[in-house]
Structure 1
């Protein structure tokens, strides 16, 4: 049994950050807290509704330049965050189980597994990000930016 099986079926809830309901970032918060002991920023109050994709994209883009995240070079590993476009903006995340397989919030349904190498997600992948606590060295330009 994979660690991810414990999260399948968590229902969708806008701004949700618990097992009672979560959005895509809420699911990441739950998994990181329960599986890795890492508290991710919840970003509550930073956007009015999930329909405001521009604000969500800005949060994801800011996270991508945050000192907490490192872009992944090469294959993703368990617990990396996969970032996806919806339309022209990056507004969706999934948590990698193994390269090509993620758990994510499937629309307004519940947490499900998905293969993101093809199908609906294959051409939407913007990249993978790894939390700095997971032992990855930061590229020099990102370290410099973090201290500016």
Structure 2
């Protein structure tokens, strides 16, 4: 059984942060807490979806990447994949292995999809590794 199996089927819930429902950031946060013991920011306060989208994009911007996230060319399990949604880089997925990712979108449940799927490749911004996973694995 892969670590990702227990997350498949979690329903989409805007601002959700648990097994009862998640948005894409909530799913990443849940996986990082449960599988890696790393607490990511919640972003569950009073916010609009557009504001959260901007915060998630800012989380992985150049200044913050140097502190917490590093862009990598060869992804490993648990790296985050950042995708564009419209003009903003706001959708995240979690790398399972060389070919698969775990993610969730509105009106769907958490599922596994191919990293190489053309509809995702066209929106790919990059792969990012959390500094604490680097310390544990490097």
TM bucket, shorter chain = 0.7 to 0.9
Return the structure number with greater relative CO, CA threshold 8 A, min gap 6: 2
Per-residue CA distance 1:13-32 (angstroms, 9 max, x = gap): 01000100000000001100
Aligned-residue CA RMSD (Å): 1.5
**2:33 counterpart residue number:** 33
Which structure 1 residue ranges, 4+ long, deviate > 4 Å from structure 2?
Answer: none
> After the TM superposition, which residues 115-130 of structure 1 pair with which residues of structure 2 at under 5 Å, given as runs?
115-130=114-129
Per-residue CA distance 1:4-53 (angstroms, 9 max, x = gap): 0111001110100010000000000110011001111011226313xx2x
Contact 2:13 2:106 in 1 (8 A): no
Return the alpha-carbon distance in structure 2 between the equivalents of residues 93 and 36 of structure 1. Answer: 17
Instruction: Say if 1:56 and 1:117 are closer, same or farther in 2 by CA, change over 3 A.
Output: farther
Return the alpha-carbon distance in structure 1 between the equivalents of residues 9 and 120 of structure 2. Answer: 20
Return the alpha-carbon distance in structure 2 between the equivalents of residues 13 and 61 of structure 1. Answer: 19
> After the TM superposition, which residues 1-148 of structure 1 pair with which residues of structure 2 at under 5 Å, given as runs?
1-45=1-45, 47-49=47-49, 52=50, 55-64=51-60, 65-66=63-64, 67-72=67-72, 74-135=73-134
Deviation at 1:57, TM superposition (A): 3.8
Query: What TM-score do the two structures reach when normalised by structure 2?
Result: 0.87
Which residues of structure 2 form unaligned runs of 5+?
none
Contact 1:9 1:110 in 2 (8 A): yes
Query: What TM-score do the two structures reach when normalised by structure 1?
Result: 0.82
